[in-house]
Structure 1
Amino acid sequence: MDGFDWPALMRAGMRGLGLKPWEFWELTPAELQLLLGESSGAKPMGRSRLDELMSAFPDQSGGACK
């Protein structure tokens, strides 16, 4: 790990979660990760998986979306 992206973490904590600065700085990285839901659910889809799905389910041509 190269380090933390502090500006992004501060935006997520203070803007996203509504934490006050002192609340943000009292959290451990593990607590912040838990609050942000970092370890819950599936990972976001990557480009290679999107390409696979686009190949498997191509858009149908010749019609407008309904």
Structure 2
Amino acid sequence: MTRFPWADTMAFGLGVLRLAPQTFWAMTPRELAAAHAGVKGRTGGAPDRAALDGLMTLFPDGDGR
């Protein structure tokens, strides 16, 4: 079993987000995860070819104007 990364979690909440300790400790794990996603971006990797083709169809390059 892996230990919970308390040092990293507190460094993010207190240092990066600059939350007051009372606010940090009152947050739910889901709220902290949402804050992390908002700051660091969601990870999911690059889109696959089908998703990229779909985006290119929806948002084609301009005609050079």
Q: TM-score, normalised by structure 1?
A: 0.54
Aligned AA (1:24): F
Corresponding residue of 1:32: 32
Q: TM-score, normalised by structure 2?
A: 0.54
Distance 1:28 1:39, change over 3 A: farther
Corresponding residue of 1:52: none
Runs (5+) with no aligned partner, structure 1:
44-66
Question: Relative contact order (C-alpha < 8 Å, sep 6+): which is higher?
Answer: 1
Corresponding residue of 2:18: 18
SS at match of 2:12: helix
SS at match of 1:36: helix
SS at match of 1:2: coil
Query: Would you tell me which structure has more helix in proportion to its own residues?
Result: 2
Q: RMSD in angstroms over aligned alpha carbons? A: 2.2
Runs (5+) with no aligned partner, structure 2:
46-65
Distance in 2, Cα, partners of 1:28 & 1:2: 20
Query: Percent identity among equivalent residues?
Result: 33
